[in-house]
Amino acid sequence: MMSKLEDLQVELSNLKEINHKHFENNILPGLKLKVKEFLYAFEDYFRERGFVVKKDQNTIRVAYDSLEFSAIANEQNDIFIMKEREQIASISVKYKKAKMNLHLVPSDPADQLAMEIEKQRVMMRDLENPQFYYTGSEFGYQYETPMSVLESIFYV
């Protein structure tokens, strides 16, 4: 009986380690890339409309006459859209996660471990081939492209 539990614990530990590596190798760089993709799209969107563009590390400022907008990214992969000094949108970059069904926790330790292993396997699928999207508190939808976000904010 003990060796079955030990085997399950080893499997769970291995899956957690693999998932941690997938998170570091796939998710973190992917989130940063989506932020950069948004900032580039923000710049292009306003440049095409005749705005003057100024860029810093994680900030794009655009101006046309007295109208000014900024897109500012932070380390948590959030992007804030400002009109002058007022925040008009907050956008987060996320990745799709499978819905986990919540069940009652089994009383048998082997069943508990088996359930945790299954959760880690589901998580692994999400981490191996992540699908990123943009969302925010102002709109709550999942947007695949920066342009769809910009159009929802500025509806031109």
pLDDT band of residue 60 (cuts 50, 70, 90) is very high
Model's pTM, two decimal places? Answer: 0.84
- CB–CB of 18/126 below 8 Å? no
Which residue from 105, 101, 65, 63 is spatially nearest to 82, judged by alpha carbons? Answer: 63
Average pLDDT over residues 96-104: 75
C-alpha 151/C-alpha 156 separation (Å) is: 6
Average pLDDT over residues 129-142: 84
**Which H or E element spans position 77?**
none
Average pLDDT over residues 95-106: 76
Average pLDDT over residues 1-8: 80
Residue 1 has pLDDT above 60, yes or no: no
Share of the chain above pLDDT 70, in %: 93
Average pLDDT over residues 75-102: 90
**Which H or E element spans position 4?**
helix 2-22
pLDDT band of residue 137 (cuts 50, 70, 90) is low
Q: What domain range is 17 assigned to?
A: 2-154
Task: State the number of CA atoms in the 13 A half-sphere of 5 facing the CB.
Answer: 6
Radius of gyration of the chain (CA): 21
Residue 122 carries which side chain, given as an amino acid letter?
A: V
Number of folded domains in the chain? 1
Tell me which DSSP letter residue 100 carries. Answer: P
Instruction: Print the SS3 string covering 48-71.
Output: CCCCEEEECCCEEEEEECCEEEEE
